[in-house]
Amino acid sequence: MQLEKVKDLTRQILSKVQSDSAMELFNNLEQGKMLRSQLILAICDSEAAYNLCAIVELIQSASLLHDDVIDGSDLRRGKPSINAIFGNKSAIMLGDILYSSAFFELSNFTPLVIQSIAQSVSCLSIGELEDVKLEASFNANADKYLNMIKLKSASLIAASSECAAILANAKEPKKYYEYGENLGIAFQIIDDILDITQDREKLGKPALSDFKSGKSTLPYIYLYDEMDAIDKEWLVSLFGQELDFDNFTKLKEKLSASPLSRARAKAKEYGDKAAQIAKELGNNELQSMVTAMLERDV
Ligand code: FPP
Ligand code: MG
């Protein structure tokens, strides 16, 4: 119900550019869990908060449109991506239209909100740039991975949380930023774990897609860390490749030992920090969001 209202608002904002072509492309987009809107509405329930949700969802959709072009992904949420159906050029331009429509609407807000969201889009883009750089060869450095996901995935979640707090006239918006940042990092680690543990049906794409497309996420970094020189060579030789049945099975088996539980523990570390902040802020809903996020299977 609340999220339906946000979806309606995104459509209303986009309709202001008066482009049937843009609306037609937009109608092919699948909305996801709308985590950022859920977070905003858990902090502030006002008309302005709903507008902020719609703005953030438009930015999020724009970033995924661009990301699918950058990653050459044909699937998004189990359905053909916009770039797969209409080509890269249309996907990029739709992303630009969503992004600029969102910023037009954002100009109605107080400068603190505008600056926080604008800064987070720079962070998203810098994180994506870092991700592209890391794909050049197998990355075995956990700190580089964690810094990249902080920028690429956690920054817009953190800014959404902070801006909702500003709209609610909360005392310490920076604490809400910190909450969102920790939640966002945990969220991306869990996402990267699910890419390994879930099947095609749940993921909407084949399992181990990250590794095959050149992303060495935390479980792979931990696996590398635990391997001897010969196995390290084997792992690196598979990076960015289609996997045959034997290598797929062997890789999944090796990840299922300690690397996946170490990665889960790392996600929990960030989740616990977020939960602690939510507790200090006295917001039970924010606390439950952490638990649901850590326990999710999609
Ligand atoms: C998904 O990563 C991508 C992101 C979380 C952010 C991408 C950000 C940009 C492309 C910059 C956007 C800039 C503007 C101006 C809108 P992933 O590939 O790891 O996840 P996936 O499996 O969902 O594709
Ligand atoms: Mg991608």
**205 Cβ below 6 A of ligand 1:** no
Same fold, 1-108 and 111-297: yes
CA of 246 to the centre of ligand 1 (A): 31
Q: How far apart are CA 188 and CA 210, in angstroms?
A: 12
Q: State the ligand closest to the CA atom of 148.
A: 1
Q: Which CATH class for the 1-108 domain?
A: mainly alpha
DSSP string for 55-73: HHHHHHHHHHHHHHHHHT-
Fold (topology level) of 111-297 = Farnesyl Diphosphate Synthase (1.10.600)
Residue spans per domain, the chain: 1-108, 111-297
**What is the whole-number distance in angstroms between the Cα of residue 63 and the centre of ligand 2?**
10
Atom of ligand 1 nearest to the CA of 205: 22
pLDDT in tens, the chain (298 residues): 899 999 999 999 999 999 999 999 999 998 889 999 999 999 999 999 999 999 999 999 999 999 999 999 999 988 999 999 999 999 999 999 999 999 999 999 999 999 999 999 999 999 999 999 999 999 999 999 999 999 999 999 999 999 999 999 999 999 999 999 999 999 999 999 999 999 888 888 889 999 999 999 999 999 999 999 999 999 999 999 999 999 999 999 999 989 999 999 999 999 999 999 999 999 999 999 999 999 998 8
The 3 state secondary structure assigned to 157-206 is: HHHHHHHHHHHCCCCCHHHHHHHHHHHHHHHHHHHHHHHHHCCHHHHCCC
Taking the CA of 195 as reference, the closest ligand is 1
The closest residue, in CA terms, to atom 8 on ligand 1 is 63
Q: How far is the CA of 3 from the centre of ligand 2 (A)?
A: 24
